[in-house]
Amino acid sequence: MFSAYINSFKIPELRQRILFTIGVIALVRVTSNIPCPGIDAGALQELFEEVRQGAGGGVMNIVNIFSGGAMQRFAVAALGIMPFISASIIMQMMTPVIPALEKLRREGETGQQKINQYTRYLTVGICLVQGTMFAKTMANPSALPGISGGAQPVVNPGIGFIITTVIILTAGTMFLVWLGEQISEFGIGNGASLIIAINIVSRLPSAVGNMVNLVTSGGQGSVGPNFTIIHVFLLLAAFFAVCAGTVALTQGHRKIPVKHARRSAGGGGSQAGQTSYLPLRVNYAGVMPIIFGSAIMIFPSVLFRYVDFAQGWARYLQWGDPLYVAIFAALILGFAFFWVANQFNPTKIADDLQKRGGYVPGIRPGQPTAEFLDYTMTRITTAGALCLVGIAILPMIMANQVGIPRLVAQFFGGTSLLIMVGVVLDTLRQMEGHLLSRHYDGFLKKGRLRSRRG
């Protein structure tokens, strides 16, 4: 496998894409460390610690992880790229129900470019709303529940600070969106997902530091007075087990056998029919349902704090609360089926098989094959979506029931782990495509990848 990494730099095009991606990632991290003007760093850290320990700590911690610590520093990229993800969710949901958008999608690449442009406009609108909320919170932190208001992170609060901050935060998010598009086009991997994954990984050293503090302090009353190095090894074993399960879920697929009819060959002979497989992924939607669900859950929990009649509901939508878990699980299930319904077309697959002389043994070609594929994919998606839900809520159980710090628990499943595993596998898959096309070995020396090349 290590030779595959060396071979990656022997291919000029792949080497250029990798170096370009690394350079863009460095720019992303720079935007996460440039604070907005008018902020007192010391008071901001004091306020953030108070918020993180209070009622809004769960949501604030999620935003901070997705932004790579930019929220904690109230940096230019404090909003991260999540507004763009939220806008993409809305456009995905509106396209099937709005005829004009559906028509654009059917126009191919030209129509998709227009939809992408509308998504950017919607991203700006979401940034203006969220940026205004965060700016007002910084200017008046006592409005948050459980906050004494002693820490004043804004040096000169006022309308000037709010307007300037909203413009900066919006520009920061749109800059990240542009960088993500550059990665997708000129780099390696999916740009938006890769930016989120890098931001999550950047919080790993802080999580390791929290684990060290737990051992040296004996748990600090959170996970019990006898937290020792033995518990660390147990947590590491659980971490690797969850990682293995996540990889298995991401890579798992159901093979549908497909036989091809006997073909006539030149000279009056015939060519025997061949047998192939149609792989149906267990987690067909990948990491998108959990990203979509997390993006949606961030928005109402913040918005409800600024709406008088909805403030009572805000306390029930905190990270790890039963209502939060139930809605989050429902969103993951819903988006998993929604993504499959939009991306997986059994009728088209059945028609393509019939045109190429292929058929599923025991199933008649045409509509019966489409119904069989739809039924099979529904069952597979149900199993995959339930596994996604289990992995997503595991950190909440560890944080609320076991007492593991939230930052540490985020890496034992949930959004963080799924995004990291999914993005890494997708990036390696693209790199492997370049390697195999140049007759180099891939990242696996045995199994499906080598036999496919042969």
The DSSP bridge partners found for residue 276 are 258
> pLDDT tens digits, residue range 91-135?
887 887 888 888 888 887 888 889 999 999 999 999 999 899 888
- Whether residue 43 is found in the same domain as residue 190: yes
pLDDT of residue 126: 92
- Whether residue 269 is found in the same domain as residue 374: yes
Rounded to a whole number of angstroms, the distance between the first and last alpha carbons of the chain is 18
- Whether residue 228 is found in the same domain as residue 192: no
pLDDT of residue 436: 78
Task: Look at residue 434 and tell me if it is in a domain.
Answer: no
- Whether residue 252 is found in the same domain as residue 378: yes
Torsion angle in degrees (nearest 10) through CA of 278, 282, 283, 285: 50
Task: Look at residue 437 and tell me if it is in a domain.
Answer: no
pLDDT of residue 20: 93
Residue 306 in this model has a pLDDT that exceeds 70: no
Domain boundary among 154, 172, 202: 202
- Whether residue 174 is found in the same domain as residue 233: no
pLDDT of residue 120: 93
- For residues 417 and 427, give the distance between their C-alpha atoms in angstroms, rounded to a whole number: 15
| Number of domains observed in the structure of the chain | 2
Mean pLDDT in residue range 428-453? 63
For the record, the structure tokens of 265 come out as 């060959």
pLDDT of residue 379: 92
- Whether residue 32 is found in the same domain as residue 70: yes
Reported as a pLDDT band with limits 50, 70 and 90, residue 451 is very low
- For residues 337 and 381, give the distance between their C-alpha atoms in angstroms, rounded to a whole number: 7
Task: Look at residue 105 and tell me if it is in a domain.
Answer: yes
What size, in residues, is the chain?
A: 454
pLDDT of residue 59: 61
- Whether residue 85 is found in the same domain as residue 116: yes
Task: Look at residue 207 and tell me if it is in a domain.
Answer: no
Residue 251 in this model has a pLDDT that exceeds 70: yes
- Whether residue 192 is found in the same domain as residue 251: no
pLDDT of residue 221: 47
Please check whether residue 287 is in contact with residue 422, taking contact to mean a CB–CB distance below 8 angstroms.
yes
- Helices 229-251, 414-437: inter-axial angle, 10-degree rounding: 50
Between 227 and 428, the higher pLDDT residue: 428
Domain boundary among 202, 236, 257: 202
CATH label of the domain that carries residue 27: 1.10.3370.10
Reported as a pLDDT band with limits 50, 70 and 90, residue 373 is very high
- Whether residue 136 is found in the same domain as residue 50: yes
Reported as a pLDDT band with limits 50, 70 and 90, residue 174 is very high
Type of residue found at 104 = L
pLDDT of residue 417: 81
Task: Look at residue 147 and tell me if it is in a domain.
Answer: yes
Residue 214 in this model has a pLDDT that exceeds 90: no
Domain boundary among 154, 177, 202: 202
Residue 447 in this model has a pLDDT that exceeds 50: no
Task: Look at residue 450 and tell me if it is in a domain.
Answer: no
Domain that holds residue 51: 1-202
pLDDT of residue 450: 42
- Helices 41-53, 57-66: inter-axial angle, 10-degree rounding: 120
- Whether residue 163 is found in the same domain as residue 311: no
pLDDT of residue 352: 87
> What are the distances in angstroms from CA 227 to CA 7, 215, 217, 220, 334?
45, 6, 8, 9, 39
Lowest mean pLDDT among 24-38, 216-230, 362-376: 216-230
Type of residue found at 442 = G
For residue 134, count other CB atoms closer than 10 A to its CB: 21
- Whether residue 197 is found in the same domain as residue 310: no
Reported as a pLDDT band with limits 50, 70 and 90, residue 452 is very low
> pLDDT tens digits, residue range 309-344?
556 666 667 777 888 888 889 999 998 898 888 788
- Whether residue 164 is found in the same domain as residue 255: no
Task: Look at residue 441 and tell me if it is in a domain.
Answer: no
Task: Look at residue 56 and tell me if it is in a domain.
Answer: yes
pTM (two decimals): 0.76
- For residues 41 and 239, give the distance between their C-alpha atoms in angstroms, rounded to a whole number: 34
